[in-house]
């Protein structure tokens, strides 16, 4: 079914419902709405004007949301051929990319926590708390890496090579 044949109200309800779930999980509201709109479009890409029209938001709101989504690797920007207009695209592997990029954040936290343990002293209550937090993030990092490898294998089996 083409997007023009879709029930616009049903699509709008999905976008707002899924966006609300993303907001509850910690995503910025406007970014969540833009992401849900892109995810629900057949092309997986829309221009700023299309997003603004569908979501009834200003170009500035679209710009801020896209900036956040691009920084978190949830969407990418691309130029329309022969135009200065940008389109914003969500990819099938955006969750993989976003989670993989979180690993870099976890690495930075681990470095800061190591410094904290050294600064506070491993034998102090604060140092032990810091060391336990560090151990948690080291564990999470290893689990994410293993999980992402399992996902790659599973995705290949279910969806084939893309």
Q: How, if at all, do strands 76-79 and 86-89 pair?
A: antiparallel
Given pLDDT bands bounded at 50, 70 and 90, which one contains residue 6? confident
Q: Which residues of 9-39 are buried (b: 16+ CB within 10 A; e: fewer)?
A: eebbeebeebbeebeeeebbebbbbbbbbbb
Confirm whether pTM is higher than 0.85. no
pLDDT at res. 109:
93
Environment class of 46 (CB within 10 Å of its CB; exposed 0-12, middle 13-18, buried 19+) = buried
pLDDT at res. 1:
44
Given pLDDT bands bounded at 50, 70 and 90, which one contains residue 99? confident
Distances (CA, A) of 118 to 18, 67, 113: 43, 37, 9
Is 70 exceeded by the pLDDT of residue 162? no
Range 76-83 average pLDDT: 84
Q: Which two tokens stand for residue 146?
A: 């293993």
Given pLDDT bands bounded at 50, 70 and 90, which one contains residue 4? low
């Amino acid at each position: 079914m083409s997007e023009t044949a879709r029930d616009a109200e049903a699509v709008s309800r999905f976008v707002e419902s899924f966006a609300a779930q993303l907001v509850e999980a910690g995503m910025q509201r406007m970014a969540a709405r833009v992401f849900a709109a892109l995810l629900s479009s057949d092309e997986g890409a829309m221009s700023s004007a299309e997003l603004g029209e569908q979501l009834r938001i200003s170009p500035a709101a679209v710009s801020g949301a896209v900036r956040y989504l691009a920084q978190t690797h949830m969407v990418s920007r691309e130029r329309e051929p022969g135009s200065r207009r940008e389109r914003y695209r969500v990819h099938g592997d955006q969750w993989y990319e976003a989670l993989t990029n979180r690993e870099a954040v976890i690495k930075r936290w681990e470095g800061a926590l190591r410094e904290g343990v050294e600064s506070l002293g491993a034998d102090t209550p604060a140092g032990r708390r810091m060391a336990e937090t560090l151990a948690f993030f080291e564990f999470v990092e290893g689990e994410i890496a293993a999980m992402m490898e399992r996902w790659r294998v599973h995705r290949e089996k279910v969806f084939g090579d893309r």
